[in-house]
DNA sequence: CAGTAG
DNA sequence: GGGCCTTACTG
DNA sequence: GCCC
């Protein structure tokens, strides 16, 4: 069996070398690397010999600005631009709560700037420096200069209205986004109590009701230790169903963050003995409900014998832990690498590496890296193409020419 | 299909 | 001017 | 909001 999330403890030795809390994750990555190198020789030159992309190749290589190609972030050193980052995050929050299509991309863009800003080591003091940041153009540079000069951003004060605050509150409910939030605001609702009181009129859905019921708990971040404890329980239960099961914990936990937004688990099984994990997730979910770990289902996989299934629900550390979002993804064993990339994120890294794949004539999704993908002139996918890599993350990175990035190096902060 | 989510 | 990740579920 |  394979486990991620436990293993040797960090050694608390020297002072400045407080051991990375991710030690346990390196084991897995290293193991994956070893397996990789035994089956496939990788040299520096091998990048020139990666499978030729069957469709349109980039003529001059990928443009810069791919987060997945950027050097890893500095680890926990005081960021000299933190005060700028904080203001840009406030602005991002405002854009997030808006409904327009362009606002979505403003958020996307700000994420790039924030990501680069948290990577940069020097203090930004001039407009020229601000302009150099990835995703930063004239307007963003102006905003950064305003923050540097005044410590404030007028745009934020102007947009910090009651509507913004109420919609932000509403959008904290699971399955409520900007559209519904504004819709409810337009109907006169202002508080969560209003939402509860008018649930019939606004046709609150089943999942929204769950989100509302656990609003406060679900708003909170999950301490790493608790995520680990929940993972242990679920893994143990899975192992009682099949001792050859493989359970990983992914998402922000695998990226090494001290708190997690939710708990993302991956379930699979090595089929070389002729047995797969078909039907296992379904049984696992039943057990977890019996154990009081899972309390509410948000999305249940329709076909309980399929090898690929995604479960989304709510649960806790029994008997009385806080309610947490729990996702379990079951996948075919040979798609483990692609699934790990997908479920480990972060989202910016995923979007970046997927865009890179597309620009190189491939397509990357949670199942694998595909070549020979048919696309229309707008880049919309017409045919699936053929699978090129999916077993390990490294294999996929190599084909794309992405330098290896440990999970904890795939975050923007 | 729109909206939401990962 | 048009793309900015990709796939899946819900109602 | 940025980039091609």
For the stretch A250-261, pLDDT in tens is 999 999 999 999
Report whether pLDDT(A19) > 50: no
Say whether A222-331 and A162-219 share the same fold. no
pLDDT recorded at residue A77: 61
Using an 8 Å Cβ cutoff, are A50 and A401 in contact? yes
Report whether pLDDT(A49) > 70: no
The bases of strand B with some atom under 7 A from any protein CB are: 2-6
A136, closest nucleotide (Cα–C1'): D2
Q: Which residue has the higher pLDDT, A71 or A98?
A: A98
**What rounded mean pLDDT belongs to chain A?**
85
What CATH architecture is A347-409?
A: 2-Layer Sandwich (3.30)
From the Cβ of A301, is strand C under 7 Å away?
A: yes
Report the distance from CA of residue A53 to the C1' of nucleotide C6 in Å, as an integer: 19
pLDDT recorded at residue A412: 78
pLDDT recorded at residue A62: 42
C-alpha A28/C-alpha A17 separation (Å) is 22
pLDDT recorded at residue A73: 62
pLDDT recorded at residue A234: 98
Over residues A307-334, mean pLDDT: 97
> Is A123 a catalytic site residue?
no
Please tell us whether the domain made up of A222-331 is placed in CATH 3.30.460.10: yes
CATH superfamily membership of A162-219: 5' to 3' exonuclease, C-terminal subdomain (1.10.150.20)
From the Cβ of A262, is strand B under 7 Å away?
A: yes
Task: Tell me the pLDDT band of A5, cut-offs 50, 70 and 90.
Answer: very low
Specify the CATH class of A81-159 in words.
mainly alpha
C-alpha A328/C-alpha A326 separation (Å) is 7
Burial class (CB in 10 A: 0-12, 13-18, 19+), A150: exposed
Q: What is the pTM of this model?
A: 0.83
Name A311's Cβ contacts closer than 8 Å, sequence gap at least 6. A281, A285, A297, A299, A300, A301, A327, A328, A329, A330
Using an 8 Å Cβ cutoff, are A269 and A244 in contact? yes
pLDDT tens for each residue of A383-405: 889 999 999 999 999 999 999 99
Q: Where are the domains of chain A?
A: 81-159, 162-219, 222-331, 347-409
pLDDT tens for each residue of A338-367: 999 999 999 999 999 999 999 999 999 999
The bases of strand D with some atom under 7 A from any protein CB are: 1-4
Report the distance from CA of residue A236 to the C1' of nucleotide B1 in Å, as an integer: 42
Q: Which residue has the higher pLDDT, A241 or A35?
A: A241
pLDDT recorded at residue A13: 29
C-alpha A329/C-alpha A265 separation (Å) is 6
Report the distance from CA of residue A241 to the C1' of nucleotide C1 in Å, as an integer: 56
């Amino acid at each position: 069996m394979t486990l991620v999330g436990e293993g040797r403890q960090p050694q608390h030795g020297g002072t400045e070398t407080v051991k990375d809390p991710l030690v346990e994750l390196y084991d897995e990555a290293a193991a994956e690397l070893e397996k990789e190198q035994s089956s496939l020789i990788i040299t520096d030159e091998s990048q020139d010999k990666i499978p030729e992309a069957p469709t349109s190749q980039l003529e001059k290589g990928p443009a810069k600005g791919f987060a997945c190609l950027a050097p890893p972030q500095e680890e926990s050193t005081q960021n000299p631009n933190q005060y700028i980052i904080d203001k840009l995050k406030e602005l991002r929050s405002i854009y997030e709560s808006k409904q327009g299509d362009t606002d979505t991309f403003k958020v996307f863009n700000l994420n790039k700037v924030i990501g680069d800003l948290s990577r940069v080591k020097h203090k930004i003091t001039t407009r020229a420096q601000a302009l150099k940041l990835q995703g930063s153009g004239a307007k963003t540079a102006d905003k950064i200069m305003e923050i540097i000069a005044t410590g404030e951003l007028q745009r934020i004060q102007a947009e910090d209205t009651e509507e913004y605050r109420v919609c932000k509150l509403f959008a904290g409910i699971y399955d409520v986004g900007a559209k519904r939030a504004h819709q409810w605001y337009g109907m006169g609702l202002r508080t969560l109590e209003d939402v509860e009181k008018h649930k019939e009129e606004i046709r609150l859905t089943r999942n929204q009701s769950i989100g509302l019921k656990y609003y406060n708990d679900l708003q909170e971040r999950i301490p790493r230790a608790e995520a680990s404890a929940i993972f242990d329980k679920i893994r143990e239960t899975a192992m009682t169903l099949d001792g050859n099961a493989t359970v990983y914990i992914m998402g922000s936990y695998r990226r090494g963050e001290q708190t997690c937004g939710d708990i993302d688990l991956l379930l699979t099984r090595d089929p070389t003995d002729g047995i797969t994990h078909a039907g296992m997730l379904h049984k696992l979910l039943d057990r977890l409900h019996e154990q009081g770990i899972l309390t509410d289902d948000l999305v249940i996989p329709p076909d309980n014998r399929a090898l690929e299934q995604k479960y989304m629900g709510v649960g806790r550390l029994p008997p009385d832990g806080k309610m947490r979002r729990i996702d379990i993804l079951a996948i075919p064993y040979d798609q483990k690498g692609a699934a790990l990339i997908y479920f480990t994120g972060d989202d910016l890294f995923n979007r970046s590496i997927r865009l890179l794949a597309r620009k190189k004539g491939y397509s990357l999704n949670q199942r694998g890296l595909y070549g020979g993908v048919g696309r229309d002139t707008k880049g919309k996918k017409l045919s699936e193409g053929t699978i090129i890599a999916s077993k390990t993350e490294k294999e996929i990175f190599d084909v794309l020419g992405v330098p290896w990035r440990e999970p904890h190096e795939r975050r923007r902060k």
